[in-house]
Amino acid sequence: MDLVEYQGKQYFARYGIPISAGRAADTVDEAVAAAEEVGYPVVVKAQVQVGGRGKAGGVKLAADAAEARQHASDILGLDIKGHIVRRLWIEHATDIEKEYYASFTLDRAAKLHLAMVSARGGIDIEQVADTEPEAIARLHIDPLDGLGLPAARQLASDAGLDPEALDQAAAVLVDLYRCYVEGDADLVEINPLVLTTDGRVHALDAKVTLDDDAAFRHPEWSELEQIGDVDPREQLAKEKGLQYIGLVGSVGIIANGAGLAMSTLDVVNQVGGTAANFLDIGGGANADIMANALEVINTDPNVSVILVNIFGGIVRCDEVAQGILTALERVDLASPIVLRLDGTNSVEARRMLDERRSEQIIPELTMIGAAIRAVEIAGGQS
Ligand code: GDP
Ligand code: MN
């Protein structure tokens, strides 16, 4: 789950990372009231799950109520890279001396945590990585060792932060690391981490991605409101406990196991098609799960054919066939199903489907055969 800036800042604050005082607002009047409360000058900031808000006109300074009103009304409803602004964060403005960058994430290849710190903050870090890779100091951290103040200070120093910022920056890094580990985040990023004109170091922006698999340890996460639009297909899938990722093509894909689902995506691409989604019904797929999966895909108007690719190991093909038959009764499927069923009980499954012969089900024996057939159908209809 990606948090918006102010949720990320509130998460930071629990670990003692300094942030500016602020308030959330959903209307222009609320924004002005919030500005009065935090005290001018204020920054009016769009709360959307996308970076580069500043460049897009989503971050504006206001010196008084009239300006706060003007900026709030300009920013609410603004479209920032496809995200419509529905909530603002109003915080007391900071006088900036320097803008830095700090983040922690997991380096999967190294199997270690990775800290990145730079004195070139405030701008897109990918751009810094491209043009000035030496301007980013990196440190791998073994989770068993953790991160102490001396190593954090060294990292800040390697990154070229100003001498007067080093002690405070080191403390922020240690707290941010704790937020990342104890807070079960996949990513924590502060860009910019600023040195103020009066010599304080604090977080002016926050990007936090929580690890959904750790939700069971964090009952408080349920209070985090989803800000902004969620893909209705992904929402429906989540409610039904399915692993679903919406894409933009026309072939709906259902497979058992993430590996098989990805291979199916690849094969569809190789034969000239495009996938509308990625849907893994998992290793314990039964009739009900299969029916749910078809229901979710059926809500996607881009789908013109559904490719079901099941290799039965633990999953029994007759259960899957039963799920397809149940789905056909339960919902009015808008697209034909190209079906490749192989493995445990596949003979029984084919017999069941033959008995209830439906024009909507097109059987294929191989994965490549099924992909070619599905792409033909998709192409013929678009
Ligand atoms: P982003 O563009 O989505 O990354 O949004 P940020 O929160 O990082 O804000 C973008 C830029 O606005 C920052 O890099 C700062 O230069 C500027 N900014 C944000 N807050 C303040 C503030 O309190 N005072 C001043 N002077 N500038 C700010
Ligand atoms: Mn930023």
Pocket lining: 93 vs ligand 1, CB cutoff 6 Å: yes
- Asked if 52 and 37 count as a contact pair (C-beta separation under 8 A), the reply is no
Q: Considering the domain 21-92, what is its CATH architecture?
A: 2-Layer Sandwich (3.30)
User: Is the pLDDT confidence value at 381 over 60?
Assistant: no
CA of 343 to the centre of ligand 1 (A): 56
pLDDT at 284 over 80: no
CATH number of 96-223: 3.30.470.20
Q: What is the pLDDT of residues 80-125, one digit of tens each?
A: 988 899 999 999 999 999 999 999 999 999 999 999 999 999 988 9
Q: How far is the CA of 285 from the centre of ligand 1 (A)?
A: 48
Domain chopping of the chain, boundaries: 21-92, 96-223, 232-381
CA 93 to ligand 1: nearest atom: 23
| Whether the CB of 367 sits within 6 Å of ligand 1 | no
Mean pLDDT of the chain: 92
Name the band, by pLDDT with cuts 50, 70 and 90, for residue 142: very high
Task: Give yes or no for residue 41 CB within 6 A of ligand 1.
Answer: no
CB atoms within 10 A of CB 140: 11
Q: Is the pLDDT of residue 285 over 90?
A: no
pLDDT computed for residue 83 by the predictor: 87
Which residues sit opposite 277 in a β-bridge?
Answer: 246
Model pLDDT, residue 242: 84
Cβ(249) – ligand 1 distance below 6 Å: no
Ligand nearest to the CA of 75: 1
Tokens of 264: 């199916």
Could you tell me whether strands 2-3 and 112-118 are parallel, antiparallel, or unpaired per DSSP bridges? unpaired
- CA 161/CA 155 separation, integer angstroms: 9
What does the CA dihedral 191, 120, 197, 22 come to, rounded to 10 degrees? Answer: -10
CA of 140 to the centre of ligand 2 (A): 23
> For tokens 């679903």, what's the residue?
244
pLDDT recorded at residue 144: 96
Task: Say how far apart CA 126 and CA 327 lie, in whole Å.
Answer: 45
The CATH architecture to which 232-381 belongs is 3-Layer(aba) Sandwich (3.40)
Tokens of residue 253, six digits: 């894909």
Q: Which residue has the tokens 């001018």?
A: 40
Choose the weakest-confidence range: 189-198, 247-256, 305-314, 351-360. Answer: 351-360
pLDDT of residue 229: 64
- Is pTM, for the whole model, over 0.85? no
Residue carrying the six token digits 């990320």: 8
Which residues are CB-contacts of 342 (< 8 A; sequence separation ≥ 6)?
310, 311, 312, 317, 365
CB 107 within 8 Å of CB 178: no
- What pLDDT does 196 receive? 98
**What span, in angstroms and rounded, lies between the C-alpha atoms of 50 and 40?**
26
Bridge partners (DSSP) listed for residue 2: 209
CB of 323 closer than 6 angstroms to any ligand 1 atom: no
pLDDT digits (tens, 9 = 90+) for 148-206: 999 999 999 999 999 999 999 999 999 999 999 999 999 999 999 999 999 999 999 99
CA of 44 to the centre of ligand 2 (A): 14
Residue of minimum CA distance from atom 16 in ligand 1? 122
pLDDT of residue 291: 86
In this structure, what is the dihedral angle of CA atoms 55, 15, 113, 244, given to the nearest 10 degrees? -70
The predicted structure's pLDDT at residue 230 = 67
Distance 192 CA to ligand 2 centre (A): 6
pLDDT digits (tens, 9 = 90+) for 318-334: 988 888 888 888 888 89
- Residue 15: pLDDT band (50, 70, 90) is very high
The CA distance from 135 to 131, in Å, is 9
Residue nearest to atom 3 of ligand 1 (CA): 53
Read off the pLDDT of residues 16-70 as tens digits, 9 standing for 90 and up.
999 999 999 999 999 999 999 999 999 999 999 888 999 999 999 999 999 999 9
pLDDT of 382 over the 50 cut: no
Q: Partners of 44 in the beta sheet?
A: 60, 90
Which of 301, 94, 55 is CA-nearest to residue 203?
94
49 in Cβ contact with 9 (< 8 Å): no
Please list, in sequence order, all residues whose beta carbon lies within 8 angstroms of the beta carbon of residue 323, skipping any fewer than 6 positions away: 285, 286, 287, 288, 289, 290, 291, 293, 294
Q: How many percent of the chain have pLDDT more than 90?
A: 71
Please tell me the residue having the least CA distance from ligand 1 atom 7. Answer: 205
38 lines ligand 1 (CB under 6 A): no
Ligand 1 nearest atom to the CA of residue 54, by list position: 2
Nearest CA to ligand 1 atom 15: 122
Position 228 confidence tier, pLDDT thresholds 50, 70, 90: low
Test site for ligand 1: of 195, 198, 204, 207, most ligand atoms within 8 A of the Cβ: 204
**How far, in Å, from the CA of 54 to the mean position of ligand 1?**
6
Active site residues: 101, 189
User: What does the alpha-carbon distance between residue 339 and residue 321 come to, in Å, rounded to a whole number?
Assistant: 10
